[in-house]
Each structure stands twice: as C-alpha cells, then as structure tokens.
Structure 1
Amino acid sequence: MVLPVDNPTKSYWIEAAKSSLRNFRSTVELPKETDVVIVGSGYTGATTAYWLHRFTERNHRQPCMLMLEARDICGGATGRNGGQLRPHAYSRYPKWSERFGPDGALEVIKHEMAHLSAFKELLNEEGIAEEACLKLGETFDAAMSEKAWTRLKHAYEIMLKDHGKEGDVIRDCRIIEDPQAAKSFTQMKGCIGAVVHAAGQVWPYKFVHALLRIVMEKARLNLQANTAVVAVSERDDNGWITVKTPRGDVRTRTVVHATNRWASHLLPEFGNLIFGGRGTLASIKALEGFIKHTGAQHWDHVVNNYHIQLPPPYNAIIVGGGKSLLVHDPHSYILNDSEDQQFVGIPEFYQSWPAADIIDWPGEIPTKLNRCVNEGGCWSGVMSSSIDEFPFIGAVPNNDGHFLAAGFTGHGMPRILLSTASIAPLILDSTGMKFTQPALVATYPPLPKPFKLTMRRLKQLQQVDAKAKYEAAVENDLESAKEAFCNDLRSRPKSS
C-alpha cells in the first residue's frame, strides 16, 4: 500500500489561503451509495467534478458525486506546485516531433496552449479570476550558459522551420538574441539570451477550492477530507464497485482515480508506469510588481530555477527548482516521497537567490522568506513522473467503471483542465446518464493521442525497464553536478 505521508511540510499556498474547506466534510457519515467516487481532491479531481456538473447541468438529475481525500483538501501536488500556467510552447518540440512527427508534436503543444484561454474563459465565467489570482502574459526561458542557449535556440528554430512564422503557436513565441535585451526583459543576471512565449499564473490551491465550492453549491458533491481509500473492487454483476475506507465502505457505479503519483496504490498495474518525485519551492518577500514576467533560468537540460510573483496584496515571489544544489544527491528527489522533510541547504539557497540572480534586487542579503521556513516559507511536494513523459487519460483497460487521469510529470497546470473535460463524457456514459457538451469546451482541441490510455500503450510501457530508466536519470543528474554552475558557494552540498 502506497499513501502520502501524514505530516507534509507546510506550503505557502495552503497556509496563506486560510480556506474554510481545508478539512471539510460535507456529512458526518459517508453515504452508502453514490454514482461517482472521485479519489483525490486536487486539480484533477476538482475539474473532473466541475465538468461532470457542467455536462449535466441541463439534466433533470445530476450525478451524485463523492470526493475522497486522504489528507486535507487539495493538500497534495496542486497545493504545493509553482503556480505557473506555463505550456511547453516550443522547448519540447524537437523531441516530440522526432517521436510523433511535426503535426503530432504540434497537436500536444496546441492542447497545452489552449489552457490559457480556457482558464481565462472558465474563471471569468464563474467569477473567480481575481480570487484565484489569474494573470496571463508572457514568460521566458533564460539561457544562463552557452549549453542552455544552444538547446533553447535550436528548439525554437526547428519549430519555426517546420511550421513557419504564421503558425498558430509560433506567433506566440519570439527569441531575444541580444544579451543586454535578454537581461532587461528577464531581469536575470548572467542571462545570455531568451525565448519568450505566452503563459499565465494562478494560485492553484485557491482555484481548486473555488471550483469545489461552486460544484457543492450548484451540483451534488459530497466532499470528504482525511478519508483515505484503501481498496477498490471490480464492478460486480449488478454494476456496483465497492470503495473501502477506514470510515466504512461505499458502493458506486464508477471510480475516477485522480491521485496522480499515488495511482498505483489502487491500480497496481501502474506501479512501474507512474512514479513519485520530490520538488521544492519557497515564498520570498518582495516589493509590489517587482517581477515583470514569470520565467525560468536554464543552465542545462536538468539544472533550472523558475518563479512567479503574486499580485497585491500578497506580492510574494514563489521560486522553485534549486537544481544546482539538489543534483548532487539525485536520490533525495528521484523516486522520493518524503514531502515531510526539507532538503538540506535549500532554504538558504532560496534566500540567496534574489540578490544573486535578479538585477537591481533591493532586498536584504540574505533575503527574507515570506514566512518561517517550516510555516510555509519553504516546502516540499511530491509530483508524478510518467515512464513515457505523458499522462494517462481515459478508461482503465480491463477494469470496467474505473477511469484514470494521472501521470502529469510535474506539468499538470497546462494539461489537466482540458484532459478532464475529455473524460467527463466517458464517465457519464458509464453511469448511463445523458449529457450535453458545454459551450465552454466545444471549441478547444481534443485530447492528444500520446495522452490516451489504451491497452496497447499500457502493454508496450509495461515492457520498459523502469529500473534502468531510474538509474539513467540518476547518472544524468550526477553529470550535471560536475558542472561549474553546480559548484559555486551556494550550490555545493551542505551537510545535515
């Protein structure tokens, strides 16, 4: 049995939000029966519930939904991520076009880019854009080494060559080759060039809690915090699936597995397909509006930092990455679920980051975190890694009534919203309910082929040597650890 740790480090997103839904339970007892059980209350679970509501809001009867969360509501990856709504607009294009061809690569990119307008449309329609701190604009990939600049520039140029300047996505990308202009735009010391594209940012925890509040008000959602699912059955001859929890059993027609890294807890066939990995972030005190654009610094294909700044009254800079320090011990984050622990030396790394990396930073040295280290100033979080780097979206093969949306590989923000919209009709079909596609999703791209959960994909990936991939990832990161940019004063390993 694999479940998240009981006492994770405290995230700024969660602590500063002070949501009344944090440990919410709609009812004292669990219902005995329901139409749909959604396991997991993060971004995936919340948007699944939202779409089930929107697809059936014209019906005389909407589905009864029960959402079960092992810890507090949205206390997992969504409550611990970087807040960047940042598609891979070009950077993965060479790799994806080699695998799927130019059009196949573009299919994935368009699906990710569509999340920008989808977020804007949904949050404005529901009146929660300001509450969730949604902001759309431009982001950058800043090259901090010649190695990084060669990679980023190559990716941009290959995409430009294949699709031309008039392509739907490439119009939203541009390159800054002059180092001074790149420094000015990115505000990053040492930047030698940058690629810029459309992106956004959001307070992920507030977004999820707002959606859940809306669904509970308008539909039939029973929300239950601190209720781990310990087992699920197959569908019996009468069409029922039994969901077992320490608080009692529930019969349901369908189960949606929205647990990302934890999917194999209930679906063991994904044990070698979806893995855990630990990341880290911090919240830094800053002057209002100091950071002009969200962005990421790149030294090579492993070592990076990334950041956003929240709007007033919060103004905090959320910074993550810290890979120049972490790569010295890959075992501390690869296949590691210890989100109850801080990385040794990482709070000090983040405190040194603004003055060391941002041009004209006015703060003190070391910079102050927005909160005490263990009270939301710095935190760890577990994200998933998929063995082929793409999520698994769809009906679980040979498991009638079970649906999965998981394996987002630390890149769920520009993938999940429209992915869960694509499985809502499948879930409702499984319950025998009629539905109408809402106008909100009618114009958006379909689910990309690499995301689809099929028996063929499952069988092929189960033959991959997962241990060898893990060992290669460790060796790859240790190679980065030898680089000069991983051996400055702040990046050298710290003893515990």
Structure 2
Amino acid sequence: MASSTETRKPFPQPAAGYTQSFWRTELDPLDNHRSTPDLPIEADILIIGSGYAGASTAYHLFPENQQGTPPKVVLLEARELCSGATGRNGGHLRPDLYSATKIYTERYGLDAAVEVVRFEIAHMKTLEKLVQKEKIDCDLTFTRSLDIYLDVDQLAAAKSFYDYLVDQGLDFMDDVQYLSQEDAQGKAKVRNAQGGFSFSAGHLWPYKLICRLIRIAVSRGLNLQTNTMVTEIGQDRTPEGLWPVTTNRGVIHARKIILATNAFTGALAPEYSKAIVPCKGLCTHIEPAPGAPYQELPETYAIRQGLGAFIYQISRKDGSIIVGGAQYTYKDIPDQWHNNPDDGTLINSVEHYFDGYMQRTFFGWEDSNATVKHIWTGVMGYSADSLPHIGDIPGKPGQFIAAGFNGHGMPVVFLCGKAIAQMAQHSVPFQKTGLPRLFETSAARLDPVYNDTVG
C-alpha cells in the first residue's frame, strides 16, 4: 500500500482536514494499533494492506475453533487501519446484475459472465450471516437499488440487454424490475429520469465492518502493525525460502505474502503496473438542514447522466446521504485522477459539483437546504480489463494477490479474501475456491488487451 508505481517513493501520508472520510469519524481502538512494539522478524503469512481484502483474508486465516497451532500471521498497514479505499468508499453493497455483465458477455461469453453475477449475489446473504454471527455493528441495511437513466439512448441499449438476459431464462433476472419514465420520476423521485431498473442491494458502514473483522483476527492471534509502510519486496527468496520485505521500520521475512494492496499494487509488484492502475475518485456526505423538509429515499441509487456519467448514492437512517462519482466532470483531465495515488487532495474539477446536488436532482428536496458536510477522495485500483486479480502471482512462488476491484469491491471482496486464505494456508488451487474463472490473475493478464481504466 505504499507508493507510486513509477517513482517507487513512499506513498504520501493523507492530508488532514477536508479529505477526512465520513466513515472515519468514529475511530476504532485498533486504528493505530501495533500488536507488538517491534516489527516481527518473520511470519508464516504476511498480509500487506488492511482494507476489505486484507481484513477478510486475516479473518479467514483465524477461523473459530481452529484446530492445531495457527500460522504466524502479520498484517502491515502503511497508515491507519482501513484508511485506504475501503475506508473512503460509498458504502454501497450493490451487485451488478446486468451492466458490467454486458461487457463480460461480449468478451468471454454468457456462462463466464453469469458466474460473476451469481458470485456477487452470494455476497448479500453471506454478509448478512456474517454480521449476525459476529454481532457486527456496521449499519448493514438491505433495500432496493434504483439504476436511473437520464439519457434515452443509453436506457434503450440497457433495456435491450436486459431483455436478452430475461430471454435466457436466468433466475436472478426475476429480481430486476424495469422502471418506466413515470416510475423513475414518480417512485424514484429523480428529475429528468427517462427510466431505469430496480433490484436488491444494500449498504453499510465499511470502516466498522473491517475493524470488527480485524479485531476478531487479532483476538485469535493476528499481529497487526499499523503505520508500517512497505517499500520493497525482494526479488529472490532466502535459502530458507523466505521473502525479504523492507518497511520503514525494518525488514520482515515471510514464507508467504498476500498483496491486499489494490491501487498501490504496482509499487510492490511492478509487473502489475499496466494491469492495475491507481485511479482517484471523490465522495461526499450530505445532510439536509435541521427541521427542513425533504423526501425520504430508502433505496440506493446509481444515476446515469450519459455514457460513462455515473453517480452513486446511499441514504443513511439519520437522513443524511453518501453520494459520489461524477467522474465525467474530470475524465478529460487525466492528471487529476488517472494513475494518481494522492488521496490527500481533492479533485479540482468536481470539488463543488455536489453543492446543491440533492436539490437539483430529486423531487422533494427543493427546500431541504442540504449541504455537503464531508468531502474526501479515495484511490481505487482499476484493472485494465475491469476484473479483479485473485490468486498466485505469476513467477513468484508463495506470493498471492487480491486487488484490482475497480471501485466495485463491496459485493466481491469478502469471498475473495476467503479464497486467498485457503490458497495461502492450505494450498487450495484457484479452481477449487469457487471464485469466478475470470478473476484468476495470470501472466497473460499482466499485458492487457483492454484498457478500461481510461474508459
């Protein structure tokens, strides 16, 4: 999680103040935790990154009622716990039932695309059971998601593929409802809406989920070391089969390494520099004025202004809104976001975009006096082919990766972390993990055919 893919300098610490994520306003006691005062000398398994992928992997490496001696697992985080993209996202638990499915179908065939859809749907029930079992207070809420189109041509194209999926007899399409223009404006309350779709989704407080998973793992033996920036992984193993890992606090040797580094993977594994690119995005927390009237919006939203123009949104139970995206306002200024790992500054072109956003977008918010209370940036790991990289790092025995989630990690990462834990701890082959075949990292994918990061 440490550096720019080109300069390989230590990743800069985040700026204080206006880039503070809303999700990090209630900090966990483990936020700056170190299980031991000194950096351990060795580890059986070393996890780099304490976001969703790192937390899920750690949790699954320390199962309840584990038999035998647990492995010596160390988790390194460059900054505070869950201070990267997971602690800065939109909190949206939203499987993609038809949008990205179109791209995957065109490139890899319907069967492979459907595997991804079913995998994302599985996360809904899996997370519900997890939160109940571990009594995790993370505001997990299940609702419907409204995918609203403001552009007639884009809606027509989406409707055509929706009809195709329905004609295939896919059971999960029973949950997808088409919304007419009347529905989209009347029920979804979106001005200028031309139509859209509705399907099951959810949202949560991501930082609280991750901290709870880490806390459980720490209680079972995980050694957590925050504020420990990895600057280099050695190219060769020692005669004992250990990988040397250099940090700002010294060197630790690990038998196995898991890169849960998402956007910053290329800094430590340069072979991924083309495959996973750090891309900066912006998110906000908006509140109506105390006592002011506003229309309740219990659903989550994706509002599509046109091709590539996407804004996501969730409503919290206190009436506030988390809303972000609007990449189309700065897409043509790549230095502000593309291959840009700096989450300590805002994006100039979109800094004031969400001022008055609720009032101009939704019926019933005209007199809400809603204002932006928090605004922050985060750095996502966009993969060149829009698919995560999961599995054995090519040519590096004992090194694994779970990264490149394209800003769509919430309905994907938890079970990816489970799979990586199985691969690292028990040598389970990728094909036996239950992951979609398209997620497997490979040498071929490191030289991408596509370049979706700029599209």
TM-score of the alignment, normalized to the shorter chain, above 0.5: yes
Task: Summarize the Cα distance change of 1:27–1:404 in structure 2 as closer, same or farther, 3 Å threshold.
Answer: same
Correspondence for 2:4:
none
Correspondence for 1:220:
221
1-structure distance, mates of 2:202, 2:295: 15
Deviates more, 1:243-252 or 1:196-205: 243-252
Correspondence for 1:322:
326
Question: How far has the Cα of 1:423 moved from its partner?
Answer: 1.9
Q: 1:450 aligns with which of 426, 432, 438?
A: 438
Show CA shifts across 1:403-462 (max 9, x none): 1001111111111111111121210135xxxx9xxxxxxxx98101110123xxx23541
Task: Summarize the Cα distance change of 1:32–1:139 in structure 2 as closer, same or farther, 3 Å threshold.
Answer: same
1-structure distance, mates of 2:317, 2:71: 37
Q: 1:422 aligns with which of 414, 419, 424?
A: 419
**3-state SS, counterpart of residue 255 of structure 1:** strand
Q: Within the alignment, does 1:37 sit opposite 2:43 as a pair?
A: no
Question: How far has the Cα of 1:395 moved from its partner?
Answer: 1.1
Question: How far has the Cα of 1:402 moved from its partner?
Answer: 0.6
Correspondence for 2:241:
239
Question: How far has the Cα of 1:2 moved from its partner?
Answer: 5.1
* Contact kept in structure 2, 1:78 and 1:205, CA below 8 Å: yes
Q: Within the alignment, does 1:121 sit opposite 2:129 as a pair?
A: yes
Q: What are the within-5 Å matches in structure 2 for residues 7-406 of structure 1?
A: 7-8=14-15, 10-54=19-63, 57-128=65-136, 131-162=137-168, 164=169, 167-177=170-180, 179-217=181-219, 219-233=220-234, 234-286=236-288, 290-312=296-318, 315-344=319-348, 346-361=350-365, 363-365=367-369, 367-370=370-373, 377-406=374-403
2-structure distance, mates of 1:459, 1:181: 45
Between Structure 1 and Structure 2, the one with more helix by share is 1
Show CA shifts across 1:306-326 (max 9, x none): 1001224xx320000123432
Show CA shifts across 1:129-149 (max 9, x none): xx1111112101101111221
**3-state SS, counterpart of residue 364 of structure 2:** coil
Q: Which amino acid in the other structure matches residue 226 of structure 1?
A: N
Q: Which amino acid in the other structure matches residue 435 of structure 2?
A: L
Question: How far has the Cα of 1:362 moved from its partner?
Answer: 5.3
Q: TM-score, normalised by structure 2?
A: 0.91
Question: How far has the Cα of 1:111 moved from its partner?
Answer: 0.6
| Structure 2 gap segments, 5+ residues each | 1-7
Deviates more, 1:197-206 or 1:167-176: 167-176
Task: Summarize the Cα distance change of 1:173–1:122 in structure 2 as closer, same or farther, 3 Å threshold.
Answer: same
Task: Summarize the Cα distance change of 1:38–1:274 in structure 2 as closer, same or farther, 3 Å threshold.
Answer: same
2-structure distance, mates of 1:465, 1:417: 26
Show CA shifts across 1:247-269 (max 9, x none): 12222221110000111111111
Correspondence for 1:485:
none
Q: Which amino acid in the other structure matches residue 13 of structure 1?
A: F
* Contact kept in structure 2, 1:260 and 1:407, CA below 8 Å: yes
**3-state SS, counterpart of residue 71 of structure 1:** coil
Q: Within the alignment, does 1:4 sit opposite 2:11 as a pair?
A: yes
Question: How far has the Cα of 1:364 moved from its partner?
Answer: 4.5
* Contact kept in structure 2, 1:235 and 1:401, CA below 8 Å: no
* Contact kept in structure 1, 2:384 and 2:448, CA below 8 Å: no
Q: Which amino acid in the other structure matches residue 62 of structure 1?
A: P
Question: How far has the Cα of 1:288 moved from its partner?
Answer: 9.2
Q: TM-score, normalised by structure 1?
A: 0.83
1-structure distance, mates of 2:183, 2:238: 64
| Structure 1 gap segments, 5+ residues each | 371-376, 436-443, 477-496
Show CA shifts across 1:270-289 (max 9, x none): 11111011100110014798
Q: Which amino acid in the other structure matches residue 184 of structure 2?
A: A
Q: How many residues align?
A: 438
**3-state SS, counterpart of residue 171 of structure 1:** helix
2-structure distance, mates of 1:52, 1:347: 41
Task: Summarize the Cα distance change of 1:72–1:288 in structure 2 as closer, same or farther, 3 Å threshold.
Answer: farther
**3-state SS, counterpart of residue 412 of structure 1:** coil
Show CA shifts across 1:29-56 (max 9, x none): 11122211100000010000011112x7
**3-state SS, counterpart of residue 98 of structure 2:** coil
* Identical columns (%): 31
2-structure distance, mates of 1:35, 1:57: 20
